[in-house]
Amino acid sequence: MMGPPGSGKGTQAKKIAVQYGYTHLSTGDLLRGLAGKTDLTTEESQALETIKHGNLVPDELIYKLVFHKIEDSIRAGQGVVLDGAVRTVEQAQSFNQFFVDNNLNQEVLVLEITLTNEEALRRLSGRRVCARCGEIVPLSMAVDSCQKCNGELIVRADDDAEVIKLRIRKQGNKAMAPVIDFYRQLGILKTVDGVQSIEEVERSIAKILEISN
Ligand code: ADP
């Protein structure tokens, strides 16, 4: 799953994972999960700082976080939804090599959820997440706690106004264009309009997955 910050890729990735019984692997969630570890390596602590400032973490850390998880899932006979795992052309090439090495390259589909940078800014500036289950709640929804698990709703550290602008500059449409082109040239890219409602995006993705399966 690809798309600028705020495009809804996390929301849709979770839905796909539930519907198809796939493992949901969000590099953002995995990185934020490091914050709870007591024995962080220097590389990991630096990565947590990097995220707070809206920058990308080093490629090698991403590979360490996800490659073995993909292998575990595939070995267990489960598919995988990679959520935001590829954000540079170098990463796209390394993932591609990993898929080739594991004989999975015929199985990969890239779903891009499109959104303008302006809409991304509007959405991210108004969202909260559940500290317990990760459910995303728009600010327009006037609730005090998570409707799914009753957990506390918090604003993510990197959803601060200035950091949002930085993330959009560094990870928004312009920055991601070469990665999208890489997948377009491979012929495995499908695009969904992310301005639609969550349900409409879900239906558009379902149609694509039905055709591809
Ligand atoms: P977003 O909504 O901004 O896409 P994520 O939760 O997916 O949020 O990611 C949060 C942060 O984690 C990113 O801003 C970036 O700093 C870091 N990150 C996630 N995936 C990658 C990746 N593949 N390469 C480098 N950094 C990443």
Active site residue 9: yes
Pocket of ligand 1 (CB under 6 A): 5, 26-28, 31, 50-51, 55-57, 62, 84-87, 91, 158, 167, 171
Flag the least confident range among 38-42, 70-74, 135-139: 135-139
Cβ atoms < 10 Å from Cβ of 114: 16
Active site residue 190: no
Flag the least confident range among 25-34, 77-86, 163-172: 163-172
Among 14, 56, 90, say which to mutate for ligand 1: greatest number of ligand atoms within 8 Å of CB.
56
pTM, rounded to two decimals: 0.87
d(CA 81, CA 69): 11
Model pLDDT for residues 10-61, shown as the tens digit of each residue: 999 999 999 999 999 999 999 999 988 889 999 999 999 999 888 999 999 9
Active site residue 123: no
d(CA 98, CA 136): 31
Which of 43-78 are b and which e, b meaning 16 or more Cβ less than 10 Å from the residue's Cβ? ebeebbebbeebebbebebbeebbbeebeebbeeee
Backbone angles phi, psi at 130, to 5 degrees: -80, 125
Q: Which amino acid is at 158?
A: D
Q: How far is the CA of 54 from the centre of ligand 1 (A)?
A: 8
